A and B are shown apart, each in its own frame.
Chain A
Amino acid sequence: AQKVTQAQTEISVVEKEDVTLDCVYETRDTTYYLFWYKQPPSGELVFLIRRNSFDEQNEISGRYSWNFQKSTSSFNFTITASQVVDSAVYFCALSTGNQFYFGTGTSLTVIP
C-alpha cells in the first residue's frame, strides 16, 4: 500500500526564520516519484518540485531546498528566511505511475 504522512498539521514561524516541512512515504515500488505542491488561499495547487526514486541528490532552488533520503523514506522541504508570501498549505505527494497519493498537508503561517 502507498501512503504519504505529513505529521505537522500546522506550523507558525516569524518572518525570516527557517522552517522545515516533514514528509514520510511508504511504497513497495522501486520506481516512484515524489512531489511537493503549494496551495495558497486561492485553492490552486502549484507545483514546486519532482524527484525520482533513483536520484537522492539534494536540491536547492532559491530559498527552497529539499532533502530526499531513501533510507528513512523521507522527502523534507526547507524554506530559508521565510516570507509572508510563503504562507500556504504544502502537500507532499507520491506517484507510482498509476495515481498520486497526497499527504494531508501542512499549513504554514509566516508572521510578519
Chain B
Amino acid sequence: KAGVTQTPRYLIKTRGQQVTLSCSPISGHRSVSWYQQTPGQGLQFLFEYFSETQRNKGNFPGRFSGRQFSNSRSEMNVSTLELGDSALYLCASSWGGGYEKLFFGSGTQLSVL
C-alpha cells in the first residue's frame, strides 16, 4: 500500500513568487491536512480538507490556501512568497480526520531566496 506522496521534494523560489505543492494521500483516506515545520517552532497546522471541503484552518495569512480534489489529492498554494515562508511543508492523511492517527509524507522543503 503506497504511503502519502508529496511532490516536489525540494523547491527554491524567490520572494514575491508563488508556489504550489502537491499531496497524494493513502488510498481510501479522505482527510488531508497540511503543516509547516520550521526549526524551533515544531509543526504548525495550516488547514485540513475532507471530501473537498476545508474543515479546519490554522492561524496563517490568506496567502496560504489549499484545495482538495474528488480523488482526495490535495494542493497547497502560497502566493507572494516571503523569506519567512522557508520551511518543510508536511502533508498528512487519515480516513476521517478528528482523533485518528495521521500518516505523513516526507514533505516538501521550500527555500525562499
Residues of A within 8 A of B (CB): 32-33, 35, 37, 42-47, 50, 52, 91, 93, 95, 97-105
Number of residues of chain B lying within 8 A (CB) of chain A:
25
Nearest neighbor of B57 in chain A, beta-carbon distance:
A99
CB distance from B43 to the nearest CB of A (A): 4
CB distance from B2 to the nearest CB of A (A): 13
Nearest neighbor of A32 in chain B, beta-carbon distance:
B99
Q: Rank and list the top 7 A-B pairs by shortest CB-CB distance, nearest first.
A: A104-B42, A102-B43, A45-B104, A33-B99, A44-B106, A102-B42, A99-B45
Contact B56 A98 (CB under 8 A): yes
A/B pair count, beta carbons within 8 Å: 54
Residues of B within 8 A of A (CB): 3, 33, 35, 40-45, 48, 56, 58, 88, 90, 92, 98-99, 101-107, 109
Contacts of A42 in B (CB 8 A): 106
Show 8 A/B contacts (Cβ-Cβ < 8 Å), sorted by A. Answer: A44-B105, A47-B103, A52-B99, A93-B43, A97-B99, A99-B45, A99-B56, A100-B35
